[in-house]
Amino acid sequence: MSTMKFTEEHEWIKVDGDTGTVGITAYAQEQLGDVVYVELPAVGKQVEKGKEMAVVESVKAASEVFAPVTGSIAAANDKLTAEPATVNQDPLGAGWFVKIKLSKPDELNGLMDEAAYQKFVEGLH
């Protein structure tokens, strides 16, 4: 059973074994508006928790996507290059960005669960 965790920068990670699938939240894509471009890291690239790992551009703004955990990129969702709007249509599913092989699984403990994230987002209004 995988669990979804969230960051204050509006990324989500769903971990299965030692690999986490990462994307941006529904709230993040709503704030961005129509996504027109996604830049993903190369497979094998090392990413560090809290550091920039990808870029998403919308008609409104460009925004960095930060790694929620430290590890190496195991896969990138190349579909987003051709169809960036997938991020708007299904941010928690088909609009995933990368899969990260976790090198420090304990970092997941510092992330919010869904209830805590919802409360965090409500506090932003």
pLDDT in tens, 2-50: 589 999 999 999 999 999 999 999 999 999 999 999 999 999 999 999 9
Domain count, the chain: 1
**What pLDDT shows up at residue 2?**
56
pTM of the model: 0.95
What is the spatial distance between Cα 109 and Cα 1, in angstroms, rounded to a whole number? 16
Closest CA to 27 of 7, 53, 43: 7
What range defines the domain where residue 60 resides? 3-122
pLDDT in tens, 91-105: 999 999 999 999 999
Q: What is the CATH number of the domain that holds 116?
A: 2.40.50.100
What is the spatial distance between Cα 96 and Cα 101, in angstroms, rounded to a whole number? 15
